[in-house]
Amino acid sequence: MHPRLELRNISKRYPGVVANDDVSLSIQPGEIHAVLGENGAGKSTLMKIIYGAAQADTGEIYCDGNAIAAHNPAMSRALGIEMVYQHFALFESVSVVENIALSASGAFDLPSLADKIRELSLRYGMPIDPHRQVHDLSVGERQRVEIVRCLLQAPKLLILDEPTSVLTPQAVVKLFDTLRQLAAEGCSIVYISHKLDEVQELCDTATVLRNGKVTGTARPKETTSLELARMMVGSKLPEMHVSPAAPSEKPVLEVRNLSAKARDHFGVDLKDVSFDVRGGEIVGLAGVSGNGQAELIALLSGERTHGHYDAIKIGGTPAAGLRPDERRKLGLAFVPEERLGRGAVPSHTLWENAVLTAHRLGTVSKGLVDRRKASIFAAGVIDRFKVKANGPGATAQSLSGGNLQKFIVGREIALAPKLLLVSQPTWGVDVGASAFIRQTIVDLSRAGTAVFVVSEELDELFEICDRLLVICQGQVSPSLVRTSTDREEIGLLMTGRKMSKDRSGDVALQD
Amino acid sequence: MELFIAIFTGTIIAATPLIFAALGELVVEKSGVLNLGIEGMMLMGAALAFWAVTAGCSMPVAIVAGALAGAAASLLFGVLALTFLTNQYAAGLALAIFGSGVSAFLGRGFGSVPIEALHRVDIPILSDLPLIGPLLFRFDPLVYLALLMFVAISWFLYRTKAGLILRTIGESPQTSHAIGYPVIRIRYMAVLFGGLMAGLAGAYLSVAYTPLWVENMTAGKGWIALALVVFATWRPLRVLLGAWLFGGMTILQLQGQALGLQVPSELLSALPYLATIVVLLLISRNRQMLALHFPASLAKPFRPAG
């Protein structure tokens, strides 16, 4: 029998990088095949080549034994290859059924398509209402829409790109059930991920990529995580050192009964949020994205002010009505989620970007920028935080995501803040840089700074935080001590359900 | 009663060019393209339609010629904005200025030529009904065409797949391209349609409404049409209501001037513009509704990747 899909010696180079170097793999009908690798290992490029969105420089692709000559997405779909993107390709302003109708062939008959969607989504255990507007859906629900859209085409091969990065642990369980059901019906699945535990739980075989090359193939269920990790990142695995926290007597950040309406239709109202962060400890905020994190961060950083001055106190000073620069004077430093555009100006040089927040350290005098001092400051950050960059004169957009994030975190830490606010510290950053950034944050807190981290990566929060909060639909849970909670409890809180002991064995799932 | 009929029919007629131009622009903007050159396209349509009549063409031919002139002018904008990706604001403003200049140049010859206006329809029975007849069934055909266009465009945008594609291109051309729709081609068609409608609006002004040719005779109606689309939060029904409001104010201030109100006539003439913008501003304050109907990619150049 022919494999469902076979890649032979695929190579693809972009200017300056070899994205894929002589990659071969083969996938049988009904097989769940993992493509495992760090960010930047070439997974996404390989998927684009399979789907036809990018062309390989050399190598061949066979589908059911036939070579695919001129490849493009339309050809893929004719062959029964469907792809669920990491960042969903959905239109926010129209309904689920309209979104699906746009990519469906055949007559424009919304009522009958809606029936099909309802029927199919129930059959695979992920109910969706076809008439809801997409902007009203949670990220998990949007993913269901994407998957149902693919399933309507009765695919023979389904590609999923990092599908669990936006899901609660319970939703992941549900997704895996669906994928297993699909595979049992003969559909092949390519599952792209950098999460070892998921690959071991779900996948039959794995191809591991590093720097564009295949570094190994394995049966993940029979291979230890250590072996898989070695294949992924090479010999040296980063290690974290987290010493016990010694929280300060008084909180550095106090949030009391903070309520705020969302600024637009796509936002979430914050309801009566209260918590403290003390000096020397790291408090993490877990939650599925779009549950009010953006609103909370904007209110804490000062991008948005609040009428109740006492709702937010920094170092005992009422700060809710203060502008960002006034809060920075109180000792706040802030690393936003978007590196390019909010954390740094893409087209400006690193020293110019350094001036943006480090103007208090003498890089600006009498209203004029002191280029020499700014360059020295930027060079210091580059040096101390091991940023790979072409000196202080390099533009922010010329750095890789991980290096720019190191620079931004470094810039904020160099300000010696009393309170550090970090949103998604390692989003889209490779394993090595992630570990470095996390370690840097831990070291900063152990030196006495209060740190508040917002992250969608539970692993990350469990690794570095002393206490955890969970946000769901604008409400923040009481704090949980890291050492006495677990992923399941956090996961339930993320879906807005309270933990009850007698039901813990029978976990209800998010709808 | 006579006065009421006069005001009512006057309102409908004065609103007609705005309905054409604003609905056309609505379709353009729904596809994510901002064409500021409506004024220029209307003037081109007005000049060409008028010229066609003086050259002896029949009325339908003249009106079609006006519409085509608007479309030709919009094509100029399309090439600049969609193919060469110039800044859409700049390209649109250039078109507005260009259209007014070219139309003035073309119109030099027929400044004072009198023409016969577009005839009104005469529907047996209906037009002769008391009250209803003069109120509803004695307009010229373009008035009915404008209303027909309103129904057709609403239906197209919200009931057909092509309309859905157009709206989603306006939200995210990248995603539409990824699904496989020809974004640039569809935007060209939208721009051409907008030009056709603006040309029609201009033709209506010069061969039916006034009917004569004066330089810059649109007197800012192109800009009002543009404002209508924005303040109507990109919804056809509100465009229609806004156009009627403008038409109504135009007629009322004319009546006011005729009655000799002790208000400077310049101020009265400004009233329709002012009133329309204030009312539309008030109804467009709901930011959530605005966010839902706003074409998110408006005026952003799009180049298909790879």
Model confidence pLDDT, tens digit, residues B117-131: 888 888 888 888 888
Nearest residue on chain A to B157, alpha-carbon basis: A94
d(CA B96, CA A7): 55
Chain centroid to CA B233: 16
Smallest Cβ–Cβ distance between A103 and the set B167, B179, B296 belongs to B179
Strands A251-260 and A419-423: unpaired
- Banded pLDDT at B109 (limits 50, 70, 90): confident
Chain centroid to CA A78: 31
CB A20 within 8 Å of CB A212: yes
A363, A507: one domain: no
The DSSP call for residue A498 is P
d(CA A145, CA A152): 11
- Minimal C-alpha gap between A76 and chain B (Å): 12
Cβ separation of A89 and B306 shorter than 8 Å? no
CB A59 within 8 Å of CB A50: no
The predicted pLDDT at position B94 comes to 96
Which two three-digit tokens encode residue A316? 């005992």
- Minimal C-alpha gap between B161 and chain A (Å): 6
B287 touches A at CB < 8 Å: yes
3-state secondary structure A95-151: EHHHHHHHHCCCCCCHHHHHHHHHHHHHHCCCCCCCCCEHHHCCHHHHHHHHHHHHH
d(CA A344, CA A357): 10
Smallest Cβ–Cβ distance between B175 and the set A91, A108, A266 belongs to A91
B172 touches A at CB < 8 Å: yes
Domain boundary among A199, A233, A267: A233
Instruction: Work out the number of other CB atoms within 10 angstroms of the CB of residue A122.
Output: 11
The DSSP call for residue A240 is -
- Minimal C-alpha gap between A173 and chain B (Å): 29
A325, A470: one domain: yes
Instruction: Work out the number of other CB atoms within 10 angstroms of the CB of residue A239.
Output: 7
Instruction: Work out the number of other CB atoms within 10 angstroms of the CB of residue A305.
Output: 17
The predicted pLDDT at position B125 comes to 83
Cβ separation of A102 and B164 shorter than 8 Å? yes
A384, A426: one domain: no
Smallest Cβ–Cβ distance between B168 and the set A102, A264, A265 belongs to A102
Torsion of CA B132, B136, B141, B142, to 10 degrees: 170
Can you tell me whether residue A399 is helix, strand or coil? coil
Is residue A240 one of the residues assigned to a domain?
A: no
Instruction: Work out the number of other CB atoms within 10 angstroms of the CB of residue A104.
Output: 18
pLDDT tens track for B142-197: 999 999 999 999 999 999 999 999 999 999 998 898 888 999 999 999 999 999 99
| Summary mean pLDDT of chain B | 90
A271, A400: one domain: no
Which two three-digit tokens encode residue B120? 């009104």
pLDDT tens track for B223-263: 999 989 988 889 999 999 999 988 998 888 888 888 877 88
d(CA A76, CA A87): 19
Can you tell me whether residue A51 is helix, strand or coil? helix
Cβ separation of B180 and A93 shorter than 8 Å? no
Interface test with B, best of A91, A99, A136 (most B CBs within 10 A): A91
d(CA A74, CA A276): 53
Nearest residue on chain A to B177, alpha-carbon basis: A89
Q: Which residues of chain A are under the pLDDT cut of 70?
A: 16, 39-40, 86-88, 166, 235-238, 264-266, 428, 497-511
The DSSP call for residue A389 is S
CB A407 within 8 Å of CB A385: yes
CA distances from A431 to A226, A437, A450 (A): 14, 10, 25
Domains, chain B, in order of start with CATH, read 2-293 (1.10.3470)
B171 touches A at CB < 8 Å: yes
A325, A391: one domain: no
Among A335, A360, A273, A334, which Cα is nearest to A308's?
A: A273
pLDDT tens track for A166-209: 677 778 888 899 999 999 999 999 999 878 888 999 999 999 99
Average pLDDT on B74-92 reads 96
Whichever domain contains A180, its CATH number is 3.40.50.300
A170, A259: one domain: no
Instruction: Work out the number of other CB atoms within 10 angstroms of the CB of residue A270.
Output: 24
Task: Please count the CA atoms within 13 angstroms of the CA of A431 that sit on its side-chain side.
Answer: 21
Can you tell me whether residue A219 is helix, strand or coil? coil
Which two three-digit tokens encode residue A156? 């023979």
d(CA A380, CA A402): 18
d(CA A46, CA A203): 18
CB A305 within 8 Å of CB A323: yes
Interface test with B, best of A47, A49, A102 (most B CBs within 10 A): A102
A93: containing domain: 5-233
Long-range contact set of residues A201-206: C-beta below 8 Å, sequence gap at least 24? A201/A176, A202/A32, A202/A34, A202/A176, A203/A32, A203/A33, A203/A34, A204/A31, A204/A32, A204/A33, A205/A27, A205/A31, A205/A32, A205/A33, A205/A34, A206/A33, A206/A34, A206/A35, A206/A36
Cβ separation of A265 and B288 shorter than 8 Å? yes
A191, A121: one domain: yes
Among A88, A128, A113, which Cα is nearest to B164's?
A: A113
Which chain A residues contact residue B287 at CB under 8 A? 264-265
CB A510 within 8 Å of CB A168: yes
CB B54 within 8 Å of CB B113: yes
- Minimal C-alpha gap between A1 and chain B (Å): 32
Is residue A472 one of the residues assigned to a domain?
A: yes
Interface of A with B (CB under 8 A): 53-54, 73-74, 89-94, 98, 101-103, 108, 135, 264-266
A161, A290: one domain: no
Domain boundary among A233, A256, A272: A233
Cβ separation of B175 and A92 shorter than 8 Å? no
Which residue do the tokens 């039901």 mark?
A503
- Minimal C-alpha gap between B176 and chain A (Å): 9
Rg of chain B on CA atoms, in Å: 19
Task: Please count the CA atoms within 13 angstroms of the CA of A50 that sit on its side-chain side.
Answer: 32
Smallest Cβ–Cβ distance between B180 and the set A54, A74, A90 belongs to A74
Does ipTM exceed 0.85?
no
Which chain B residues contact residue A73 at CB under 8 A? 178, 180
A175, A140: one domain: yes
Cβ separation of A54 and B167 shorter than 8 Å? no
Can you tell me whether residue A156 is helix, strand or coil? coil
CA distances from A48 to A69, A75, A156 (A): 15, 13, 17
A190, A200: one domain: yes
Q: Which residue has the higher pLDDT, B101 or B212?
A: B101
How many domains is chain A partitioned into structurally? 3
B164 touches A at CB < 8 Å: yes
Domain boundary among A178, A209, A233: A233
Instruction: Work out the number of other CB atoms within 10 angstroms of the CB of residue B260.
Output: 7
B304 touches A at CB < 8 Å: no
d(CA A469, CA A456): 12
Name the residue type at position A430. D
d(CA B153, CA B155): 5
Which two three-digit tokens encode residue B73? 């002018």
Interface test with A, best of B181, B288, B290, B298 (most A CBs within 10 A): B288
Average pLDDT on B61-70 reads 96
pLDDT at residue B277 is higher than 80 = no
**Residues A399, A405, A411, A414: is their CA dihedral positive or negative?**
negative
A192, A90: one domain: yes
d(CA B122, CA A273): 70
d(CA A59, CA A79): 19
pTM: 0.74
Interface test with A, best of B156, B158, B164 (most A CBs within 10 A): B164
CB B45 within 8 Å of CB B199: yes
CB B235 within 8 Å of CB B257: no
Is residue A238 one of the residues assigned to a domain?
A: no
Which runs of consecutive H residues, i.e. helices, occur in A359-499? 371-384, 401-413, 431-446, 458-464, 487-494
Which residue do the tokens 């070291």 mark?
A443
pLDDT tens track for A420-452: 999 988 876 777 788 889 999 999 999 999 999
Which chain A residues contact residue B171 at CB under 8 A? 91-94
CB B118 within 8 Å of CB B208: yes
3-state secondary structure chain B: CHHHHHHHHHHHHHHHHHHHHHHHHHHHHHCCCCCCCHHHHHHHHHHHHHHHHHCCCCHHHHHHHHHHHHHHHHHHHHHHHHHCCCCHHHHHHHHHHHHHHHHHHHHHHHCCCCCCCCCCCCCCCHHHCCCHHHHHCCCCHHHHHHHHHHHHHHHHHHHCHHHHHHHHHHHCHHHHHHHCCCHHHHHHHHHHHHHHHHHHHHHHHHHHHCCCCCCCCCCCHHHHHHHHHHHCCCCHHHHHHHHHHHHHHHHHHHHHHHHCCCCCHHHHHHHHHHHHHHHHHHHCCCHHHHHHHCCCCCCCCCCCCC
Name the residue type at position A311. A
Is residue A433 one of the residues assigned to a domain?
A: yes
Which chain A residues contact residue B167 at CB under 8 A? 93-94
The predicted pLDDT at position A380 comes to 93
A315, A213: one domain: no
d(CA A346, CA A351): 12
- Minimal C-alpha gap between B220 and chain A (Å): 32
Residue A353 CB contacts under 8 Å (≥ 6 apart), including other chains? A344, A345, A378, A396, A407, A411
Which chain B residues contact residue A47 at CB under 8 A? none
